[in-house]
Amino acid sequence: GGQASLSRFRGALVSGVLGDCIGGEFEGAEEVPMESVLEHLYGLDEETRGDGILEYSDDTAMARCVVQSLLTRTGFDEQDMARRFAKEYSASPGRGYGSGVIQVLKKLSCPRLSDVFQPARDQFNGRGSFGNGGAMRAAPFALAFPDKADVKRSTRLGAMLTHSCSLGYNGAILQALAVHFSLQGALETPQKFITNLIAEMEEVEDTEAARNDARILKEADKPFCERLHRVKELMERSKVSIEEVISELGNGIAALHSVPTAIFCVLHCLKPVECLPQTYNGLERTIAYSLALGGDTDTIACMAGAIAGAHYGSESIPQTWMRCCEGVEDADRDAERLHALYHQIPFKR
């Protein structure tokens, strides 16, 4: 479809859910042989599967809260979003949340809480979380606002409800920007896509708080920019092994070790990949490749899925995969409503 078409919205939201549900199988695994990935994916094609048997985890649970809040409030409302996170956690605490963020979600449900950003600030002795929990739910912000400045501002605040460390919320901004650009067709020119992301992050990371966090955590001056330069360098190599990707970019639970990785997965899979079936389309390659990295597979596949889905559109999503994953129908319906909000077309409530 054309720029910011309905197909791209559906592709982004549904593929994020697929990445989470399908990637959950390998979350935390140190090594994932490609044969195991393909076996898992072939299993989804079997007639006996279906009916949403692969459950979504915290990634989708929180993204759904973001979507419902943005749609109901027709914009960003921190009180409403915080309330939804807390309510969702107390209704389904077993979705595999990070061990730190649980404290924030419990505090957010306290009716006497006056500042909804305070529980996040109290995390990790006042340092705040640098986990990828803000980034894993960032895609809907890019689907709600056409203006880049609105995407950055709302994503930052939405992430800061649980992640007050700049290495957490800036990772969320990077993920939202990747979806924002992809939605507009920017992946047609991959070099320009990565150059634009670096230019944006140069500005995003140019704050006192970011410099301070980077210094304390002994990271590069602008950690996300530095990682994106590594992505660019890996893209330029004729051959890259999975081991090199993991050692250069990471596959862990920190936003810094997973958001640039997800972006690399999308870029690397724009063309056929040697170890993957020739019959796979770009979206299938992206999800499969994300799983093969091991580590935080549900989250990396969820983020890569959202970026790739915004590029390839809903037509490239295998029906058999959709049938197996919980929450796909809701995502499909919500994508339509977000598309209307983004384009300011009146939608039925």
Residues that bind ligand F2R in the complex, under the rule CB under 6 A: 27-28, 57-59, 96, 98-101, 124, 127, 129-133, 136, 165, 253, 296, 298-299
Q: Could you say which of ligand F2R, Mg ion, none residue 265 binds, taking C-beta under 5 to 8 angstroms by partner kind? A: none
Separation of alpha carbons 164 and 170, rounded Å: 10
Q: Facing residues of 131 across strands?
A: 254
Supply the minimum distance, in Å, between the C-beta of residue 175 and ligand F2R.
Answer: 13
Supply the minimum distance, in Å, between the C-beta of residue 114 and ligand F2R.
Answer: 22
Tell me the window of 31-39, 53-61, 275-283, 308-316 that interacts with Mg ion (CB under 5 A): 53-61
Q: Which is nearer to Mg ion, 309 or 313 (CB)?
A: 309
Tell me the window of 92-100, 167-175, 263-271, 318-326 that interacts with Mg ion (CB under 5 A): 92-100
Separation of alpha carbons 50 and 319, rounded Å: 10
Residue of 179, 195, 194 whose CA lies nearest to 146: 179
> Of 205, 213, 296, 334, which lies in the binding site for Mg ion, with binding defined by CB under 5 A?
296
Residue of 162, 173, 149 whose CA lies nearest to 224: 173
Q: What is the DSSP string of 219-288?
A: --SSHHHHHHHHHHHHHHSS---HHHHHHHH--SSBGGGTHHHHHHHHHHTTS--TTS-TT--HHHHHHH
Q: Which is nearer to ligand F2R, 75 or 252 (CB)?
A: 252
**Residue 49 to residues 26, 56, 109, 176, 324: CA-CA distances in angstroms?**
18, 16, 37, 32, 6
Q: What is the DSSP string of 121-164?
A: HTHHHHT---BTTTGGG-HHHHHH-SSHHHHHHHHHHHHHTT--
60 binds Mg ion (CB under 5 A): no
Supply the minimum distance, in Å, between the C-beta of residue 288 and Mg ion.
Answer: 17
Supply the minimum distance, in Å, between the C-beta of residue 42 and ligand F2R.
Answer: 24
Determine if residue 250 is left, alpha or beta; phi over 0 gives left, psi from -120 to 50 gives alpha, anything else beta. Answer: left
Supply the minimum distance, in Å, between the C-beta of residue 135 and ligand F2R.
Answer: 8
57 binds Mg ion (CB under 5 A): yes
Q: Could you say which of Mg ion, ligand F2R, none residue 129 binds, taking C-beta under 5 to 8 angstroms by partner kind? A: ligand F2R
- For residue 325, the SS3 value is strand
Q: Which is nearer to ligand F2R, 213 or 273 (CB)?
A: 213
Rg for the chain, CA atoms, rounded: 18
Q: Which is nearer to ligand F2R, 94 or 111 (CB)?
A: 94
Q: Could you say which of Mg ion, ligand F2R, none residue 100 binds, taking C-beta under 5 to 8 angstroms by partner kind? A: ligand F2R
- List contacts with Mg ion (CB under 5 A): 57-59, 96, 296, 298-299
